[in-house]
Amino acid sequence: MLLMDSGGSMDSYSSLCASLFQAVSKSNHFRDLKVYYFHNCIKTHLYTTPRISYRESLKTDWVLNNLDGEYRVIIVGDALMDSSELMGSGYFAYKRDVPSGLQWLRRFKERYRHLVWLTPEDNDSLANTFWGESYLILKREVDMHTLTVENLTSVIKKLMVAR
């Protein structure tokens, strides 16, 4: 399963992400590739196109409940956002029953044990900035790598042999 951040700060990486999608689609490593999109962090809905349109979405719970836990998951995103969006104190904070982006990520980690996050750039230099706080939180939560050909090859090998 490929989950890709779309829009906002990821716009400058759209051609890189399109190339990644094409390469993954053409590879014979994945017998049942599912591709979904999100904006900044996983939330209540995932999207079937990079446009992030509600009409082209499905509930994240549906993915968690219907796609086998043996799926290997690659998340692609810069991990840069207002940390309140990730931690749940932002836009939907008034709705207590809506999980935060971090809670959704943890649900994915529980369901899909083989999960990695690829960032278009090494954002360690942004660690002490407003946007970098979310990057540090996510880097502590998941196996995170910079998106290079070498890292992508290594990550795919690691995911394919994982039991």
Which of 13-22, 30-39, 65-74, 150-159: highest mean pLDDT? Answer: 65-74
Alpha carbon distance 17, 131 (integer Å): 21
Structure confidence at residue 89 (pLDDT): 57
The topology under which CATH files domain 2-161 is Rossmann fold (3.40.50)
Distances (CA, A) of 26 to 22, 34, 156: 6, 13, 14
Q: Among 32, 73, 39, 76, which residue's Cα sits nearest to residue 56?
A: 39
Structure confidence at residue 21 (pLDDT): 66
Note the pLDDT tens digit of each residue in 37-68. 999 999 999 999 999 999 999 999 999 999 99
Structure confidence at residue 109 (pLDDT): 98
Q: Does residue 46 contact residue 36 with C-beta atoms inside 8 Å?
A: yes
Note the pLDDT tens digit of each residue in 82-104. 988 899 855 555 556 789 999 99
Residue 108 in tokens = 């994915």
- Where would I find the H helices in 31-116? 60-66, 83-87, 101-111
Alpha carbon distance 103, 109 (integer Å): 10
Specify the 3-state DSSP secondary structure of 5: strand
79 has a pLDDT exceeding 90 = yes
Distances (CA, A) of 53 to 56, 98, 153: 5, 19, 31
pTM: 0.89
Annotated domain spans of the chain: 2-161
Radius of gyration in angstroms for the set of CA atoms belonging to the chain, rounded to a whole number: 15
Note the pLDDT tens digit of each residue in 103-138. 999 999 999 999 999 999 887 777 778 888 999 999
